[in-house]
Amino acid sequence: MTQYIIRRILYAFPILLGVNILTFVLFFVVNSPDDMARLQLGQKHVTQQAIDNWKHQHGYDLPLLWDGHASAEEKLTHTIFFQKSAGLFVFNFGVSDSGRNIGADIQERALPSLVLALPTLAIGLVVNICLALMMVLFRSSYLEQAGMVLCVLLMSVSSLFYIIGGQFFAGKLLKLVPISGYDDGFAAFKFLVLPIAIGVFSGIGSGVRWYRTLFLEEVGKDYVRTARAKGLTETAALFRHVLPNAMIPILTGVVVVLPSLFMGSLIMESFFSIPGLGSYTIDAINSQDFAIVRAMVFLGSVLYVLGLLLTDISYTLVDPRVRLS
């Protein structure tokens, strides 16, 4: 397994390099360094001298990807891409275009993202699996049909509706929780109840349908019929046989989602004014802060690669027949 892990980590480097190049190209196709300077300076009639000074101070006065006038290796290293991207591979995120330490910002904003995302994932997983098992238990009945109709209806509604509706009813009309905001320590609980509840509720439709499909596929297999023939009840067969044997696809969905949990929810954090990594990324895109954008995209790519590796490793824990080589 050690060789497999090392090989997967080595495979990750060209992937991360490709993602970095693609992010760089897409960003500078839309924005030029002059546009970034004008936005950061915040002046309508900024002079070209001020623009040139800003570009020089922030290292955007170099060629983008290739310096044809330089010699030897400086053709590649004397560029914006190399100067801004080389440090990422040692997790040196550098300084944002506004002068803030990106690494410190990520450490500060990671916790609010996690305290919002982890309970949403855990509670949503338990709720979706329990509801899916209940629908499988009462399959081919009116209860299952009603549940499927309800799931389709929930899936058809935009997540923005749940957010705005939840803020209006729970925050403004009933005044049970604050509409938005955040606080440190246990005081943050009252600000997180509503977004966590909305996150769980908005994912019920797609989650229950997905897990129901997995469980129905297992229910029709021979080992389940054999368990029933030996006198095992339907409920016991579901929890002792169907659920464990459906763990591989469940783990695939859960572990791959973990990186996005760390990165935060872009929409949820923005609407509820939670100072996490999701709102941090949105603010950077709005201000055209390339240093933050490429740092967040790179971090997301690293976490996604690690998530896939953890998925493969987790297979060996739930199914002894799986071997990594």
Confidence category of residue 123, pLDDT binned at 50, 70, 90: very high
Q: Which tens digits make up the pLDDT trace of 159-183?
A: 889 999 999 999 888 888 998 889 8
Report the interhelical angle of 142-156 vs 102-137 (nearest 10°): 150
Q: Which tens digits make up the pLDDT trace of 273-286?
A: 899 888 888 888 88
Q: Which of 315, 318, 261 is nearest to 122 (CA)?
A: 261
In this prediction, residue 131 carries a pLDDT of 94
- Please state which of the ranges 150-164, 194-208, 245-259, 309-323 shows the lowest mean pLDDT: 309-323
In this prediction, residue 311 carries a pLDDT of 78
* Whole-prediction pTM: 0.82
Helices (H) and strands (E) in the chain, counts: 17, 0
Share of the chain above pLDDT 90, in %: 21
Which two structure tokens, joined as six digits, stand for 36? 């970034």
Q: At residue 254, does pLDDT exceed 90?
A: no
In this prediction, residue 259 carries a pLDDT of 67
8 or 93, which is more confident: 93
Burial of residue 299 (CB within 10 Å: 0-12, 13-18, 19+) is buried
- For the chain, the average pLDDT equals 85
**CA 155 to centroid of chain Cα atoms:** 20
Q: Which tens digits make up the pLDDT trace of 18-31?
A: 888 888 888 888 78
Q: Which residues contact 316 (CB under 8 A, 6 or more apart)?
A: 1, 322, 323, 324
In this prediction, residue 172 carries a pLDDT of 87
In this prediction, residue 220 carries a pLDDT of 82
In this prediction, residue 128 carries a pLDDT of 93
- Report the b/e string of 247-263 with b at 16+ CB within 10 A: beebbbebbeebbbbbb
Q: At residue 4, does pLDDT exceed 80?
A: no
In this prediction, residue 323 carries a pLDDT of 65
Confidence category of residue 60, pLDDT binned at 50, 70, 90: confident
Sign of the CA dihedral running 102, 106, 107, 112: positive
Q: Which tens digits make up the pLDDT trace of 211-226?
A: 999 899 888 888 888 8
| pLDDT, mean of residues 285-307 | 86
